[in-house]
Amino acid sequence: MSELSDRMTRDMQLRRLSERTQESYLRGVRGLAKHYQRSPDQITDREVQDYLLYLLNVRKAAWSTCNILMSALKFFYGTTLGRTSTCLAIPPRKIEQRLPEILSAQEIKRLFAATQNVKHRTLLMTVYAAGLRVSEAVSLKVTDIDSERMTLRVEQGKGCKDRYVTLSPRLLQQLREYWKQYRPTPWLFPGGIPDQAMPRDTAYVIYVKTKMKAGIRKVGGIHVLRHAYATHMLEAGVDLRTLQMLLGHRSIMTTQRYIHVTQKNLGTPAKPMDLLATPSKKRRPKA
């Protein structure tokens, strides 16, 4: 599988697929090979179909997981092996749209106060204060901080796009405190190996452990901080177009979903029962 992995990785890199997509695709193909205990290029089209049905019917895998796997197998057999005869005739299904659980301002404060580790607190504050994806946060460099213009430069975010986000004075103060203690370079949040950025999984673990210390029971990983940022910005009066640019969304439709979870909008409409006038009891005229 190592030779095939190298070929597939090369093909994905030539097509500029993100590192996360590459990891997901390789994981999917390796799972297929492990299931049959054979090299994936020796697995028949019928066996590929049977494996997908096994995941759906026996393992009860989420449809989104199977969609990713189908994309991985189509790429592997169609692009890397050139086996165009392989047909994965399983129609995609709509993914259930679930609204995220939003942390309140008080919960955000408890989260930051729950850790004494300056590096961990600064990481969490940066993700929230700038509304970053975790991959964007761990990819920040010290040179991305512009204290004169009060901006953070997000280099090659999702969709291979650069953007600038606002740098709050409170976050800048925290970053300076962090700098005095750690002196990071070149990565703002280096991992165990100084010249390498912190892995995404490490940032995820930092958030989960801190959340437990803070006594926060709402579900979700570190991406919840980005959701909280977007929701709190809307509640503060930021317009959708500006928020779209700050979040780096390609479509404003993605940004609009936060309208459904803002406290501001939840409190605006009158409750239907309150719109009904309470009928007054009319006294019967005395005879």
Phi-psi region of 270 (alpha: psi -120 to 50; beta: other; left: phi over 0): beta
Annotated catalytic residue, options 120, 121, 200, 226: 226
- Whole-angstrom distance, CA of residue 193 vs CA of residue 188: 13
133 carries an active-site annotation: yes
Closest CA to 4 of 71, 86, 87, 73: 73
The answer to whether the CB of 234 falls within 8 A of the CB of 262 is yes
7 carries an active-site annotation: no
223 carries an active-site annotation: yes
Strand segments (E) across the chain: 145-146, 151-157, 161-166
Annotated catalytic residue, options 35, 110, 119, 249: 249
271 carries an active-site annotation: no
- Whole-angstrom distance, CA of residue 170 vs CA of residue 137: 17
Annotated catalytic residue, options 133, 200, 211, 227: 133
258 carries an active-site annotation: yes
- Whole-angstrom distance, CA of residue 225 vs CA of residue 158: 17
158 carries an active-site annotation: yes
Preceding peptide of 186 cis, ω within 30°: yes
The answer to whether the CB of 198 falls within 8 A of the CB of 187 is yes
Strand segments (E) across 92-247: 145-146, 151-157, 161-166
Annotated catalytic residue, options 35, 141, 158, 213: 158
Q: Which sequence positions are flagged as catalytic?
A: 133, 158, 223, 226, 249, 258
